[in-house]
Structure 1
Amino acid sequence: MFSIDAPPELQNTEFCNYRSPLSTRYASKEMQYNFSDQKKFSTWRKMWIYLAKAEKELGLDITHDQIAELESAVHDIDFASAAEHEKRVRHDVMAHVHTLAERCPCAAPIIHLGATSCYVGDNTDLIVLRDGLDLLLPRLAAVISRLSKFADEYKSLPILGFTHLQPAQLTTVGKRASLWLSDLLMDERALSRARNDLRFRGVKGTTGTQASFMQLFKGDGEKVKALDKRVAELAGFDKRYIVTGQTYSRKVDLEVVAAISGLGATVHKMCSDIRILASRKELEEPFEASQIGSSAMPYKRNPMRSERCCALARHLITLYANAANTHAVQWMERTLDDSANRRLTLAEAFLAADATLLTLLNICQGLVVYPKVIARYIAQELPFMATENIIMAMVQAGGDRQICHEKIRVLSHEAGAVVKQEGKDNDLIDRVKSDKYFAPIINQLDKILDASTFIGRAPEQVVEFLDEEVVPILQKYKDSLVLVEKPVSLMI
């Protein structure tokens, strides 16, 4: 039988309980607070205040003193008392109703009047989702801002392009970064859409019909409609879900998690590229002066930030299926098998996304490029890429295209054998220079082999993309970027 082998004086400390790495190592204080008990239950209390205020405005017998008493207790939560009540009644909302009633005896009779548990639970979740997206979007914009500066700085630096992870035509460092940026812009669009599409559940009752509120207002449907609208306004929402079951549709959660999961896919792709480039020593993420890459191999500079992003991003990607399956099994007006799952899925989606963006921002703030290493790799491959240009130059100098093609073919295979079988550098150009057939173009070879002539419109594409696509997005966040874009330090 398993037993706790820690000394008794340690067994009740936090270090003998499971603690999520999202809270102890990765996510920001702001996002942790957004999913904290304090935020959750103080928002429940605000929801009861909004309901009481709106009911009073519409004629119910609720006093100013009762509302004032509730307002004085928003953050003054006796968590121990709530836990004792929940142990007894086995219902979290009623436990907090009793706890608040003990703190506010004058207001006790009107707390939760006409409402069902999902009034506080679901509406609070929607507020938390909204606030969570309001935290994520500026962080994403900061990443886009930093990466756009990087793309612009290196828009003209040639680098080997890859298809099938095999060397292909040249691109530029900045152009490759623009591909990462393009995906991030789609994520900004998806997250913004999810944020802007959020509505409020409002006051809908146990199956969404508002029957309890119709009874409170003696069948006056217009007052019930006005109550629904007014509570949403007090909570900061200008739109409501007109029809719901007991809960707002879990399709809403799915749309939000889908956007976050999509961000995970983007980050995984980008950071995988960075890890591959780091293995080739063409590009590196930040590496601090005292940072240790390996406990056994002191020389190593492991891309641990990019690896962390990939690890967290994989978790984000998997959460999509969880949200989809939760929505799929919400029978009729609702079932409760969503509750425990959503406590995990929604919080982890936002906390992991927050941690991922913080880490990615740190990477983008300190990316290091090694042009000489890049040039060496280009020198190994460019002679093969230049063969068509050599043939064209020879034809323009009066040569026969077919004869030239055959000579280049033979010399290329000979040079390729030297590279693959002997492990030596590519000597194709030396072979071309030694063949008298190519004498007419020898003085053109340096120009033919200029890497900048192999990158097409990559620099212009980067400029156009930044001007037309990135700048308008960054304008949306100009006021928040100053705060969010400051240097980020991370726990390694």
Structure 2
Amino acid sequence: MSSFETWQSPLSGRYASKEMASLFSNATRFSTWRTLWLHLATAERELGLDIPAEAIEQMKANLKLDEKQMKIAAEEEKRRRHDVMAHVHTFGVVAPAAAPYIHLGATSCYVTDNADLIFLRSALDLLIPKLAVVIHRLSAFAEKYRDLPTLGFTHMQPAQLTTVGKRCTLWIQEFLWDLRNIKRARDDLGFRGVKGTTGTQASFLALFDGDHDKVEALDERVTALSGFPYAMPVSGQTYSRKIDVDVLNSLTSFSASALKMATDIRLLCHLKEIEEPFEKDQIGSSAMAYKRNPMRSERVCGLARWLGNINNSARETAGGQWMERTLDDSANRRLTIPEAFLTADVILTILQNISEGLVVYPAIIGKHIAAELPFMATENIIMAMVRAGGDRQECHEKIRVLSHQAARIVKEEGGDNDLVERVRADSYFAPIHAQMDKLLDPKSFVGRAPEQVDSFIAKWVQPALSPYKEVLAKVEKAELHV
């Protein structure tokens, strides 16, 4: 059947990057198995087993599979009902001198589990620089709008002013924590190594005639050949599925950060204060031609909800492993692990696109401030009157009355907030009429927001991004389309 005649995952078919989709492909999986068999045979030969050099050379020459070999493996798996043994046979067909030694002493989890750990590490290596790019892009946005006053919102009600840049730092801070968590998960990864059928290494002890030192050396050598800093000290047949939980926790935590940012942007789009990128020929609605829907942020929200729930499955799988292992984890992990990484990859690509093209509308922001600032400025007005010799309680009552009058105009008549005009027209406030413009300057209401942006970027963002300077330099020259 052609690709459009059968269901395909939108993650690989529509959204995810070529690199992430390729990582979890069968081609990568089975060639990684062959590399692991090569590492095992190489280490066994180095430690004294009688494995011919020709066997090693033939394995090295046939690490990648072609379509013919994939067909042979598929036929063997259909006959044997065992995917690993099907590929042992297929590898032996193209590397006949190695056939007697492929998988020597190993159990299936030697290739399946060690390969999965390699994929986890490689997938994290793909995500980490992408997250750094998003942080870098948002930091530039925060710096640009560090001192642009905007309404703050608590309970989605107008609150004290902040700045557009300061609000952006709230998103960045969460992504910095995600960068730390994902990098920590990557750096903590160990290798299952060479452990045998129930983790006792009994088969390898037999191969080396009871020499415990050689079995330990084998484990260490295969681990080093595979590029890992250490092998897990103990395992059952599989590595503990709690490793999957730890890794996916970092991704599901990231999904919360992405959901928060995208939701904020959707709300700001509703207020017309900020707009996500909108391409020249993009259509917002099939019926309402004027619409500019925040479809990128909506997609992030949908995908983030999906990613946030994936780890429940990994957690239940880890807790449901019996003794040294059961096989109920296999089908589950074939779904959860690739889909978690593909989803995170898609979200990061969209976030980069959003962060590179956010549009800010200062006039709309200023209009919203003007509608609310008079009420927020009442305390400043009272304090100025007291400094001019007025009585605080009397002034408070005057302001209360005028505020209620202005609020009635806004709420009942749909008019503009005219509290400032009422204050200017009231002779009681004559001592501070000349100060009114200064008292109502939005920048006097943002506190240390601009300075907080500067300090945050200098002390936290720049040090966190310093390891990724080369990546950031490359992406500056690239153009991203979603």
Question: With structure 1 as the length reference, what TM-score do the two structures score?
Answer: 0.96
CA shift for structure 1 position 488: 4.7
> CA separation in 1, counterparts of 2:427 and 2:260?
48
Q: Is the 2:258–2:300 contact (alpha carbons within 8 Å) kept by the matching residues of 1?
A: yes
> CA separation in 1, counterparts of 2:348 and 2:219?
36
1:271 to 262, 273, 284: 262
2:9 to 5, 9, 20: 20
Code of the aligned partner of 2:64: H
Q: Which residue of 2 aligns with 1:315?
A: 306
CA shift for structure 1 position 347: 0.2
CA shift for structure 1 position 485: 5.0
Cα deviations across residues 249-308 of structure 1 (Å, max 9, x unaligned)?
111100110000011000000010000001111011110011000000000000011111
2:378 to 363, 375, 387: 387
In structure 2, the CA distance between the partners of 1:485 and 1:143, relative to structure 1 (3 Å rule), is: farther
Q: Does 1:45 align with 2:60?
A: no
Q: Which residue of 2 aligns with 1:6?
A: none
> CA separation in 1, counterparts of 2:412 and 2:62?
79
Q: Which residue of 1 aligns with 2:63?
A: 74
Q: Is the 2:197–2:237 contact (alpha carbons within 8 Å) kept by the matching residues of 1?
A: yes
Map residues 276-287 of structure 1 onto 2, 5 A cutoff.
276-287=267-278
> CA separation in 1, counterparts of 2:86 and 2:464?
45
Q: Which residue of 1 aligns with 2:123?
A: 132
Q: Is the 1:365–1:487 contact (alpha carbons within 8 Å) kept by the matching residues of 2?
A: no
Q: Which residue of 2 aligns with 1:31?
A: 20
Q: Which residue of 2 aligns with 1:479?
A: 470
CA shift for structure 1 position 60: 0.2
RMSD: 0.9
Q: Which residue of 1 aligns with 2:50?
A: 61
> CA separation in 1, counterparts of 2:414 and 2:311?
47
> CA separation in 2, counterparts of 1:351 and 1:425?
49
> CA separation in 1, counterparts of 2:195 and 2:479?
44
Q: Which residue of 1 aligns with 2:76?
A: 85
Map residues 119-158 of structure 1 onto 2, 5 A cutoff.
119-158=110-149
Q: Which residue of 2 aligns with 1:95?
A: 86
Q: Which residue of 2 aligns with 1:8?
A: none
1:359 to 350, 362, 368: 350
**Percent identity between the two aligned chains:** 61
CA shift for structure 1 position 483: 3.1
Cα deviations across residues 34-67 of structure 1 (Å, max 9, x unaligned)?
1011110000000000000000000000011001
Code of the aligned partner of 1:35: F
* Structure 1, gaps ≥5 residues long: 1-11
Map residues 186-225 of structure 1 onto 2, 5 A cutoff.
186-225=177-216
1:331 to 306, 322, 326: 322
> CA separation in 2, counterparts of 1:477 and 1:228?
33
Cα deviations across residues 326-357 of structure 1 (Å, max 9, x unaligned)?
11101111111111111110000100000000
* Structure 2, gaps ≥5 residues long: none
Q: Which residue of 2 aligns with 1:4?
A: none
Q: Is the 2:268–2:275 contact (alpha carbons within 8 Å) kept by the matching residues of 1?
A: yes
> CA separation in 2, counterparts of 1:84 and 1:76?
15
Q: Is the 2:27–2:65 contact (alpha carbons within 8 Å) kept by the matching residues of 1?
A: no
Code of the aligned partner of 1:275: R
> CA separation in 1, counterparts of 2:195 and 2:472?
39
Code of the aligned partner of 1:198: L
> Per the alignment, in what secondary structure is the counterpart of residue 170 of structure 1?
strand
Cα deviations across residues 212-261 of structure 1 (Å, max 9, x unaligned)?
10000011010000000000110111111011111111111001100000
> CA separation in 1, counterparts of 2:400 and 2:324?
71
Code of the aligned partner of 1:310: C
1:469 to 457, 460, 471: 460
Cα deviations across residues 420-446 of structure 1 (Å, max 9, x unaligned)?
111111111111111111111111110
> Per the alignment, in what secondary structure is the counterpart of residue 477 of structure 1?
helix
> CA separation in 2, counterparts of 1:304 and 1:107?
54
> Per the alignment, in what secondary structure is the counterpart of residue 110 of structure 1?
coil
Q: Which residue of 2 aligns with 1:5?
A: none
> Per the alignment, in what secondary structure is the counterpart of residue 324 of structure 1?
helix
1:433 to 419, 424, 427: 424
CA shift for structure 1 position 482: 2.6
Q: Is the 1:54–1:227 contact (alpha carbons within 8 Å) kept by the matching residues of 2?
A: yes
> CA separation in 2, counterparts of 1:483 and 1:323?
35
Code of the aligned partner of 1:346: I
> CA separation in 2, counterparts of 1:26 and 1:490?
11
In structure 2, the CA distance between the partners of 1:155 and 1:358, relative to structure 1 (3 Å rule), is: same
Question: With structure 2 as the length reference, what TM-score do the two structures score?
Answer: 0.98
> CA separation in 2, counterparts of 1:368 and 1:443?
36
Code of the aligned partner of 1:466: I
Q: Does 1:341 align with 2:338?
A: no
CA shift for structure 1 position 489: 3.6
Code of the aligned partner of 1:314: R
> CA separation in 2, counterparts of 1:37 and 1:90?
17
Code of the aligned partner of 1:431: R
> Per the alignment, in what secondary structure is the counterpart of residue 312 of structure 2?
helix
2:158 to 146, 158, 167: 167
In structure 2, the CA distance between the partners of 1:315 and 1:488, relative to structure 1 (3 Å rule), is: farther
Q: What is the number of equivalent residue pairs in this alignment?
A: 480
> CA separation in 2, counterparts of 1:332 and 1:415?
72
Q: Does 1:178 align with 2:172?
A: no
Q: Is the 1:362–1:488 contact (alpha carbons within 8 Å) kept by the matching residues of 2?
A: no
> CA separation in 2, counterparts of 1:237 and 1:49?
16
> CA separation in 1, counterparts of 2:229 and 2:122?
15
> CA separation in 2, counterparts of 1:260 and 1:490?
23
Q: Is the 1:199–1:240 contact (alpha carbons within 8 Å) kept by the matching residues of 2?
A: yes
Code of the aligned partner of 2:306: H
Q: Is the 2:195–2:201 contact (alpha carbons within 8 Å) kept by the matching residues of 1?
A: yes
